[in-house]
Amino acid sequence: MLNDIRVAFAIESTQTLNGMEEAILALEQGAQDALGQLFRHAHTLKGSAGIVGMKRLERYAHTLEHRLSALRELGKPADKACCDALLACKDRCGAILAEEPITMGDEDEDAEGSAAEAPLSAEDEQSIRDLDTALGIEAKAEEEDAPESAYRELERRAVPELYQGGVRVPDAKLDALVNLVGELVTVQAQFTRLASDSSDRSMQGLSETLKRLVGDLRTASMDMRLMPADNLFSKFQRLTRDLASELNKEVELLISGGNTELDKSVIEGLAEPMLHIMRNAMDHGIEEPEARLKAGKGRRGRLGITASHEGASVRIRVSDDGRGIDCERVFRKALERSLLAQNGKPSKEELLELLFLPNFSTSDTVSTVSGRGYGLDIVKAAVERLGGEIHVESEFGKGTDFIIDIPLTIAIIDGFLARIDDRLFILPLANIAECYERPRPEPGLRERLIERNGEFIPAINLEHTFGIERAKEPGLGQEMVIATAYGAKIALGFDKLLGGYQTVIKPLGELAGHLAGISGSAILPDGAVALILDVGSLSRLAK
């Protein structure tokens, strides 16, 4: 029971601290109700801390409440110094949360104890003194009530809202549910196969009903794992503010599409690579105010994050209106490292791709902000581990865009089962543009391109790519799939297309985990194993 309370409080307090940070940043921008929101979050934190016996946190939040009341009484806008101090107080709340144990249920603890008896640390008290200095007020005794009118007005609005019709569920339970649904999908596929081989019509009807119910359950369970991208994007507001101050730059962060939903595992996996892209844009991309004015730009740089649905994927774009990437400089650096031939004439896209090579940089100095040993090669690897793809677009002097295409979910997919000799493969249904049949090419002919409806499409020979040695001669015909990934098309040939198949992605082992062109495996109803094709990775092979 106590462990459940710890989990629930950890989830709630994290949300409350995030809300405090967002309110402080909004307060700095002059939002009218931001102070009321901040007070409401502090009040919620104080009450929750008292319930679980975290007296030090309860006392600190209570003290912060009084200062917020004083700020309201002063009736003046919160300047940068005030918001710096408020953010420091919010950070102290997080530090106390990490340091102080939950004592609810402890037999040696008086639940009747007063929060006023809980000692604050030197760091706690210093953060409050810094806030008093920023507010321009004298320190108040904690027992002293805030001005009645202001305090009661804020307190009236600070009553925590109940979670109407919802409960908090730990991540582990959601993961367990999705795993169970995955197993059920496999069992349902086995039953469907048995029903199709049977002449019993009632069994076939039951199979269709089961298929529909399992499909609905699968959709519901996957929806529970989806989170708005804003859960990740909102954290960059504070980063932008603090880095701009550290770098002596003026930067405005604009976020759109924050309600676009992604699997929580995808959001977690994107946190580090996006953090580096943001740091890189602010450190190397956006210029200092004076340099921007000389270039005919406004003093304040613009940094944008957008998210939008692109079929079964989500496209995330991080853009800045800074100095852009000097492709001539990239070319010279590549020549110095013997990455290009002296007489080579690479395209702009090829030059920009060089930025993702290990240890490749056009900067002569390592920055403490965006260096840190976390290069664009690691960013690219992190995105590809999630089944995504990243590329960069830039115009020198005008700005740079980093574009990430990422799958909506990576747990359960609708696929298309196909066979080459005795090997089984599954293509994600969302990647399939067209299927058709054609005569099989002459043995030994290595096609690089095929023509389809007046368009030349890169062809991937899967037998050659995966080293398949045939046990029997193929037939005269070949069934083709035109697959798409992130705007590019490839052609794949199979002996037989076996039809639609819903499956759970099973991770590959360590030895096969980094095999190009494969994103996972699936267990079929008869116990056979099929490999799930990674169309994005195969598309990169075609390039």
Following CA atoms 100, 104, 106, 110 in sequence, which dihedral angle do they give, to the nearest 10 degrees?
A: 100
Nearest residue to 465 via CA among 439, 489, 447, 438? 447
The token pair at 124 is: 């706690």
Q: Would you state the pLDDT for residue 125? A: 93
The single-letter DSSP state of residue 448 is: S
Q: Strand pairing partners for 456?
A: 451
User: Which pLDDT band, with edges at 50, 70 and 90, does 533 fall under?
Assistant: confident
The least confident of 1-15, 38-52, 191-205, 472-486 is 1-15
H runs (alpha helix) in 226-295: 230-233, 235-246, 264-280, 289-294
H runs (alpha helix) in 106-170: 122-135, 148-156
Say which residue, 93 or 150, is predicted with more confidence.
Answer: 93
Q: Rounded CA gap, 516 and 499, in Å?
A: 24
Calculate the average pLDDT of the chain: 82
The token pair at 12 is: 């709630």
Q: How far is CA 332 from the centre of its chain?
A: 34
The token pair at 103 is: 């004592």
Nearest residue to 180 via CA among 172, 192, 168? 172
Q: Would you state the pLDDT for residue 373? A: 42
Is the pLDDT confidence value at 9 over 90? no
Q: Would you state the pLDDT for residue 194? A: 87
Alpha-carbon torsion 530, 408, 411, 208, what sign?
negative
Residue 423, φ and ψ in degrees, nearest 5: -100, 135
What are the distances in angstroms from CA 52 to CA 5, 18, 88, 159? 8, 20, 24, 18
H runs (alpha helix) in 483-524: none
Nearest residue to 418 via CA among 515, 511, 476, 503? 503
The token pair at 438 is: 């054609």
Secondary structure of residue 400 in the 3-state scheme: strand
Nearest residue to 321 via CA among 344, 350, 298? 298
| pLDDT above 70 as % of the chain | 83
Q: Would you state the pLDDT for residue 163? A: 38
Report pTM: 0.68
Q: Rounded CA gap, 222 and 239, in Å?
A: 31
Q: Would you state the pLDDT for residue 11? A: 78
Is the pLDDT confidence value at 154 over 60? no
Q: Rounded CA gap, 222 and 529, in Å?
A: 23
